[in-house]
Amino acid sequence: MKNVLILGASGDIGGAICKQLAREGYSLILHYFKNEESMKNLLSQLDEEAVLQIVQADLTSDEGTKKLCQTVNFGVHAIVYVSGTAHIGLFQDTKEAEMDQMLHLHVRSPWLVTQHFLPQMLASGNGKIIFITSIWGNVGASNEVIYSSVKGAQNSFVRALAKEVGPSGISVNAVSPGFIDTKMNRHLAAAEREDIIAHIPVNRAGMVEDVAHAVSFLMDDKSNYIQGEILNISGGWS
């Protein structure tokens, strides 16, 4: 069965993806940065045999990214990029250091990690690369200009890399969530949340399992003819 490297496994969406793929028999290499408590909680919910390795690394720096690549002790047949953080605030107030951190975490780090593990996939003639992006990467969001920009870059990377490595049997796609019920959105007031849900055609917030199910489908051979796509998981909201 495939070994899957999951970057950002300790987050709400990352944890749901881990549990989904573990149930389906995949072997997991789990990455986290600071959230050790969440990682311990996740591990308590996974079969020990499903977890090959746990790697702690800071993907906002070249050093941390290289540490991750050098620390992984197993072959990698698939990568799921869930690592990321939002940045909320006016663009004019954004500090250069914040811009650099967002660029590295969402763009440069995925470049470096993909470049490191891609030769293994090319040699075997198969592989799966899946990004968790955001609908803001397509339509943009006020007060989230930096986040929208880097998610748009991820979408472009997915589309371009898919064309380059598709002939070699490697699948590259993205899952683009809309409003998902996670810690990232729990700062919203009840009225703000209700207003957003009122604009979602299916009349509810997305669940982390909705995203995990989409990743499961893209991991499965049934999705092999899907290439370079950005799959919206948004309940029709945009």
Point out the residues that are catalytic.
Answer: 147
Report long-range pairs for 117-126 (Cβ below 8 Å, ≥24 apart).
117/5, 117/69, 117/72, 117/76, 117/79, 118/165, 118/170, 120/75, 120/76, 120/77, 121/76, 121/77, 121/165, 121/168, 121/170, 122/165, 122/168, 122/170, 124/77, 125/168, 125/169, 126/77, 126/169, 126/170
The dihedral formed by the CA atoms of 131, 184, 7 and 141, expressed in degrees to the nearest 10: 30
DSSP, collapsed to helix, strand or coil, labels residue 128 as strand
